[in-house]
Amino acid sequence: MKKFEEKTIHTEKIYDGEVVKLQVDDVTLPNGKNSKRELIKHPGAVGIIPITKDNKIVFVEQYRKPLEKSLVEIPAGKLETGEKPEITAVRELEEETGYTTNSLRFVASFYTSPGFADEIMYLYITDDIIPLEDEVAGDDDEFVELIELTLEEAIQYVKEQRIHDAKTNYAVLYLQTLERM
Amino acid sequence: MKKFEEKTIHTEKIYDGEVVKLQVDDVTLPNGKNSKRELIKHPGAVGIIPITKDNKIVFVEQYRKPLEKSLVEIPAGKLETGEKPEITAVRELEEETGYTTNSLRFVASFYTSPGFADEIMYLYITDDIIPLEDEVAGDDDEFVELIELTLEEAIQYVKEQRIHDAKTNYAVLYLQTLERM
């Protein structure tokens, strides 16, 4: 859908980083006037909801520098260039939790902040996870701690805002709708 | 929670825009090594789920430049400095839909992309909306079209990815859990 399309007149590239790129576009609005749009380019990301045999959800706690605090989240990570989200999902599961899986089910996808960023999040679930025999090396600047919670405990973590990000809040709400635990 | 805290050694401010600021922090990791973090600063945002007397949800369709397409979303907008989210919610409802309300209920809040941005989203719902007598002027670079949908129709929009952003997908899932329609 192209309703109210904003045509680009000029793009100024501001920053080209490891995670994000920033550009400012001059655009023509539907009424013919001009405006500026600040745009973050992001490779996209994947989150995975791993469920253990005894119906616990596997989360990871990690420090989030933009917030200057740690959050409890489902395992997640950025897409590598050209990588299929399913591949990223299994890789991040292995790196962050030490589990792997052969069966993923797609849950949802959504843009996290469509007003200023093109980041898309793909969410998967698996209730068939197997501990890896050998540890998989993850990113060397990533420090995470595993936390396994029942759905009831996870709902409590949401209330306490220890779980407090879009993909994980969505995941907990989704599991409530499943009523499978 | 400060688990795995990353201490800032140096902050390089890259860009200071209307919507976002970008900075790159040099940090010391928990293992003593150094790394870089690209951080987007954002004022935070509010979304509101307006329900009409005949149980329809009021959405707005708007062009999202980062995606180069339009999405159907719940009314939403950025927090002004120091503004309470409830005030923003009513203002955005008035500007984008021509409805107002005296009764808001808090639904949830979440960080949209805690890996690189500090943006927080506050979500509210109201089933007590009143048409404004006079139109309220909104942002002069914002073009939106009202769409009122039943929950069933909204679920179909999610399937077709015409609804495809974190706050609105969360809102539709939340309404499914309410089973109030």
Q: How far is CA B3 from CA A78, B32, B35, in A?
A: 22, 14, 17
Find the mean pLDDT for residues B6-28. 97
A49 contacts in chain B (CB < 8 Å):
none
DSSP code for B2: -
Of A136-145, A156-165, A170-179, B25-34, the poorest mean pLDDT is in: A136-145
Give me the helices (H) in chain A, please.
Answer: 85-97, 151-159, 166-178
Q: Measure the N-to-C terminal CA separation of chain B; round to a whole number of Å.
A: 39
CA A156, A158, A160, A162 dihedral sign is positive
Which helix (DSSP H) or strand (DSSP E) does residue B121 occupy? Answer: strand B120-126
pLDDT(B3) > 90: no
**Mean pLDDT of the residues in chain B:** 95
pLDDT tens digit string along A28-79?
999 999 999 999 999 999 999 999 999 999 999 999 999 999 999 999 999 9
pLDDT(A95) > 90: yes
Whether residue A3 and residue B170 make contact (CB cut-off 8 A), yes or no, is no
Whether residue B71 and residue A164 make contact (CB cut-off 8 A), yes or no, is no
Whether residue A18 and residue B2 make contact (CB cut-off 8 A), yes or no, is no
Q: What percent of chain B has pLDDT over 90?
A: 90
The whole-angstrom distance between A66's CA and the closest CA on chain B is 5
B23 contacts in chain A (CB < 8 Å):
none
CB contacts < 8 A (A, B): 221
ipTM of the complex: 0.96
Contacts of B84 (CB under 8 A, 6+ apart): none
Residues of chain B within CATH 3.90.79.10 domain(s) are 46-180
pLDDT band at B136 (very low <50, low <70, confident <90, very high): confident
User: Which tokens belong to B144?
Assistant: 């939106």
- Chain A contact for B53 (CB, 8 A cutoff): no
pLDDT tens digit string along B41-76?
999 999 999 999 999 999 999 999 999 999 999 999
- The residue in chain B having the minimum alpha-carbon distance to the alpha carbon of residue A163 is B110
pLDDT at position A139, please? 77
User: Which tokens belong to B116?
Assistant: 């690189």
pLDDT(A180) > 70: no
pLDDT tens digit string along A119-143?
999 999 999 999 998 877 777 788 9
Find the mean pLDDT for residues A144-152. 96
- Chain A contact for B28 (CB, 8 A cutoff): no
Q: State the fold for domain A46-180.
A: Nucleoside Triphosphate Pyrophosphohydrolase (3.90.79)
pLDDT(A181) > 60: no
pLDDT band at B134 (very low <50, low <70, confident <90, very high): confident
Most A-contacting residue of B7, B27, B42, B113 (CB-CB within 10 A), to test interface: B113
The whole-angstrom distance between A131's CA and the closest CA on chain B is 24
Determine the 3-state secondary structure of B34 from DSSP: strand
pLDDT band at B157 (very low <50, low <70, confident <90, very high): very high
Find the mean pLDDT for residues A160-177. 97
B17 contacts in chain A (CB < 8 Å):
24, 38
Which helix (DSSP H) or strand (DSSP E) does residue B64 occupy? Answer: strand B57-64
Helices B166-178, A166-178: crossing angle, 10 deg rounding: 20
Given B40, B170, B174, which is nearest A66 (Cβ)?
B40
Q: DSSP string covering B71-112, please?
A: EEE--EEEPPTT--HHHHHHHHHHHHHSEEES--EEEEEEES
pLDDT at position A134, please? 82
